[in-house]
Amino acid sequence: MDAFLCEEVGFYDNAFGIQAVNANNMLFFDKNFFVNNGVGINLREYNTLSITGNEFLGSGSNAIQQFGGIPGAVADVQNNTFNSINLSSGIAAAIPPSRAQVQFNDFVTGSYNVGLIGFGSQTHQWAVQHNPMMFVDQGARANILLYNTNNARVFRNTDMVSDGTNNILIQGGQDNLVGYNTLGDATEGIRLDNSPLSDLYCNDIDNTGIGLQVLNDSRGAIVRGNQLDGNGLGLRYGTPASSMAYTGPQPRRGNTFDLGESTEAIHLGSQQEARLDQYLVPRWRMQGDEGYPFFAAAFDRWFDNPNGSSEYSCPEGILPPTPGDELPEKLLAGAEVAFALKDDILLHYGTQVAQTHQLGLAKDILRIHALGRFGDLSLPLQTWATQQAPQLAVQPFAELLLAKSNAFLVDEADYTYYSNQLATASNTTSQLSSLKKYYWDSLAQKLIYDPLAAQDIATYKGQLTATAQGVSGQKANFLQTLAADIADLKVDNAALNHQNILPLEVWQAVTTIELDYFTNGTVDGKDRNELLLYANMCPAEAGEGVYTARALLSILDEELKMDYTDECVGMHKRKAVVEEEQSLAAGISLSPNPTKDRALVSWPAAGGYSSLQVWSLDGRLLQEQALVASQTQFELDLAEMPVGTYLVKLIGESATQTLRMIKQ
């Protein structure tokens, strides 16, 4: 089955509400109700996933568990409510997708160990944003806990309160962005542990034991523009690799400071002779380290303000830089900046980086580009990589190609160039194995959105075979094996041919509109019409962007009630939806709907209904009213009922009609 939709279904008191293991398809779970299940949704092996508008209630292990996909899989988890007691985790992503959006979910009062936990690897990109989190649990470990994720964005999550250990814990991985979050009332606000080259910026952290901690091998981490108020200790560095340990007394001004503003905000302990702004100016900390070949002089020039001060102000809005300016500090401040940049700006900075031969900067711009989906840096970066081939190790080329693949910039020239690099690699088994992995992963990423034709596969195989003939020994065997592997793609490619570029195009367009809205606060008429077009597409054909469009429309206009029938291949309506459509056809009406306190139910005189009932989604009869034969309407009093979705039933001798009612 290519696609599966589960919509408006209740799951109660099960070990697993839904299990989708080794499904290898498109999965859509929309507006379902999970109560007292051990695990609400258990997932593995899919290529497209959408979990939208569901409600998870009651005790259990994890609301969403394992949450994993095949290489290149994408997932969208938004507008869900996690309101549970004794829930180990709201989302436990032990096997994560390659790209995930977790946004606009409501984690409300309950006893959680972890609200969201994710495990990642080199190719995984997470966007965790706009999720209000309110936890009450003395033993909670973290609101958001991410292990070994690269390029994650934890952005604008609000009301993050936990009586437990951490609000946000980033452990392992690198290049993670944590910005504009509001949090407090925990032992620690944000902990960055063994996560180099990450960025903690513009967070509001109040009333914690330690506001910010940067620990262990977190070299090159940036900490800037954070506002800390009433914390036991504002900022603590404990990075053995760089011999920095900031454990001094509380800063002045009630432990409220803007990093980089005051030389008295942090005590250096044994490092009193060091320049404080060396650590507070937003730039990469380490220089000359083999693992992080960044150049401090360039960052001094690009990150410092023109007046030479070490202040950093968090921008209220996103203002794109002007081409020709020095690379501004905001360019690397966070992924949200990328969505405001236009093609010519990215090309300008891509060329600038190419000319300075800085691999680290090139990777960062590519990372931003991969999230922003704008511009085309192929030419300047290809030129730069070719020029630097004799000086750089083989591994960076693999990383560069992988970054380009994630940015959907892979073309035949890339693979030809990379094949030649394989041929000149050293003979060590570890390097060759690593190169093959990067080559294969990059090719798989390309296949997800642009399946190769048979002639393309033959071309790639021929290139590898020809290169193998020019070398000997282990390199020749390696290239011949890789050529045989790529020939096997004929079988894999047949299974991928049902996919087309439409899901990617829809996702790109909707995401652009969505971020314009959250940047500017408005959506113009043209974008609204585009959203309506995408929202009415078939999710099985257009992907998870359809659900993002629907969610954004509901935010833009709460009164806009769309009927998305989703009558397309691989999708079937649920029984509750069919019953409601039959009731509407029979002339039954309910208004207003949604309602706050009262609702009028009306029906034709010939209906012959004897009673009216209101049921909860978990099967409890809440109200019942006897009707007389001449009666054609009844007003429901809902003032004492909690917010939620209910079923209103009209009981007759020959038929029972059902409508959904939403209490706000």
| pLDDT for the residue numbered 399 | 44
| pLDDT for the residue numbered 458 | 67
CA 369 to chain centre: 15
- Local structure of 167: helix, strand or coil: strand
Enclosing H/E stretch for 465: helix 454-469
Maximum mean pLDDT: which of 73-77, 93-97, 245-249, 260-264: 73-77
CA distance 402 to 396: 10
Of 30 and 517, which is predicted with more confidence?
Answer: 30
506 in the Ramachandran plot: left (φ > 0), alpha (ψ -120 to 50) or beta? Answer: alpha
Percent helix, strand and coil across the chain, each to the nearest 5: 30, 30, 40
Quote the pTM value: 0.44
Mean pLDDT for 236-242 is 50
Mean pLDDT for 165-175 is 82
| pLDDT for the residue numbered 326 | 33
Mean pLDDT for 53-62 is 79
> Is residue 366 scored above 70 in pLDDT?
no
Query: Listing from the earlier edge strand, what are the strands of the sheet with 55-57?
Result: 10-12, 33-35, 55-57, 81-83, 106-107
The answer for residues whose C-beta is within 8 angstroms of residue 110's C-beta and 6 or more apart is 82, 83, 84, 85, 86, 87, 135, 136, 137
361-365, 369-373, 459-463, 554-558: least confident range: 369-373
Q: Which pLDDT band holds residue 634 (cuts at 50, 70, 90)?
A: confident
Mean pLDDT for 327-341 is 33
For residue 139, the tally of other CB atoms under 10 A from its CB is 10
User: Hey, what are 530's tokens?
Assistant: 């585009």
Residue whose C-alpha is closest to residue 613's, from 656, 650, 652: 650
For residue 215, the tally of other CB atoms under 10 A from its CB is 18
Mean pLDDT for 115-140 is 63
Question: Which amino acid, 574?
Answer: R
| pLDDT for the residue numbered 559 | 46
Mean pLDDT for 389-393 is 40
| pLDDT for the residue numbered 31 | 87
| pLDDT for the residue numbered 24 | 59
| pLDDT for the residue numbered 473 | 67
> Is residue 472 scored above 60 in pLDDT?
yes
Contact assessment for residue 80 and residue 58, using Cβ atoms and an 8 Å cutoff? no
Contact assessment for residue 43 and residue 20, using Cβ atoms and an 8 Å cutoff? yes
CA distance 106 to 496: 35
Q: Which pLDDT band holds residue 548 (cuts at 50, 70, 90)?
A: low
DSSP 8-state secondary structure symbol assigned to residue 52 = E
Mean pLDDT for 287-314 is 30
CA distance 197 to 364: 10
| pLDDT for the residue numbered 426 | 52
> Is residue 268 scored above 50 in pLDDT?
no
Q: What is the share, in percent, of the chain residues with pLDDT greater than 90?
A: 0
| pLDDT for the residue numbered 434 | 54
> Is residue 568 scored above 80 in pLDDT?
no
pLDDT digits (tens, 9 = 90+) for 522-532: 778 778 878 88
For residue 561, the tally of other CB atoms under 10 A from its CB is 10
Q: What is the share, in percent, of the chain residues with pLDDT greater than 70?
A: 42
Q: Which pLDDT band holds residue 612 (cuts at 50, 70, 90)?
A: confident
DSSP strand pairing (644-652 vs 609-616): antiparallel
User: Hey, what are 620's tokens?
Assistant: 């409890």
| pLDDT for the residue numbered 578 | 42
CA distance 333 to 54: 33
- Tell me how far apart the terminal alpha carbons of the chain are, to the nearest angstrom: 37
Of 366 and 305, which is predicted with more confidence?
Answer: 366
Of 331 and 282, which is predicted with more confidence?
Answer: 331
Enclosing H/E stretch for 640: none
Q: Where are the alpha helices (DSSP H) in 502-602?
A: 502-520, 525-535, 539-542, 545-556, 575-585
CA distance 370 to 361: 14
> Is residue 496 scored above 70 in pLDDT?
no
Tokens 């029938």 sit on residue: 565
Mean pLDDT for 344-365 is 44
| pLDDT for the residue numbered 215 | 77
227-231, 443-447, 529-533: least confident range: 443-447
117-126, 163-172, 328-337: least confident range: 328-337
DSSP sequence for 132-158: -BB---TT--EEEEEES-SS-EEE---
> Is residue 400 scored above 70 in pLDDT?
no
Q: Which pLDDT band holds residue 633 (cuts at 50, 70, 90)?
A: confident
DSSP sequence for 379-443: HHHHHHHHHHTTTS-HHHHHHHHHHHHHTT---HHHHHHHHHHHHTS-S-HHHHHHHHHHHHHHH
Question: Which amino acid, 585?
Answer: A
- Local structure of 110: helix, strand or coil: coil
> Is residue 170 scored above 80 in pLDDT?
yes
Angle between helical axes of 359-372 and 343-356 (0-180°, round to 10): 160
Of 557 and 154, which is predicted with more confidence?
Answer: 154
> Is residue 450 scored above 60 in pLDDT?
no
CA distance 103 to 89: 16
429-438, 463-472, 545-554: least confident range: 429-438
CA distance 651 to 383: 74
For residue 531, the tally of other CB atoms under 10 A from its CB is 23
Q: Which pLDDT band holds residue 455 (cuts at 50, 70, 90)?
A: low
> Is residue 631 scored above 80 in pLDDT?
yes
pLDDT digits (tens, 9 = 90+) for 71-126: 667 788 888 888 765 666 778 776 666 677 787 788 775 555 566 776 655 445 67
CA 115 to chain centre: 15
Contact assessment for residue 182 and residue 204, using Cβ atoms and an 8 Å cutoff? yes
Of 425 and 636, which is predicted with more confidence?
Answer: 636
Maximum mean pLDDT: which of 140-149, 186-195, 268-277: 186-195
Residue whose C-alpha is closest to residue 68's, from 92, 88, 43, 37: 43
The answer for residues whose C-beta is within 8 angstroms of residue 570's C-beta and 6 or more apart is 1, 2, 3, 4, 5, 26, 540
CA distance 260 to 305: 11
Q: Which pLDDT band holds residue 222 (cuts at 50, 70, 90)?
A: low
260-264, 549-553, 566-570, 633-637: least confident range: 260-264
- When the pLDDT of each residue in the chain is averaged and rounded to a whole number, the result is 61
| pLDDT for the residue numbered 331 | 34
229-238, 334-343, 352-361, 545-554: least confident range: 334-343
320-324, 373-377, 629-633: least confident range: 320-324
Residue-level length of the chain: 664
35 in the Ramachandran plot: left (φ > 0), alpha (ψ -120 to 50) or beta? Answer: beta
pLDDT digits (tens, 9 = 90+) for 186-212: 888 899 888 876 777 778 888 777 788
Q: Which pLDDT band holds residue 425 (cuts at 50, 70, 90)?
A: low
The answer for residues whose C-beta is within 8 angstroms of residue 67's C-beta and 6 or more apart is 43, 49, 75, 91, 92, 93, 94, 95, 96, 97, 100, 118
- Local structure of 373: helix, strand or coil: coil
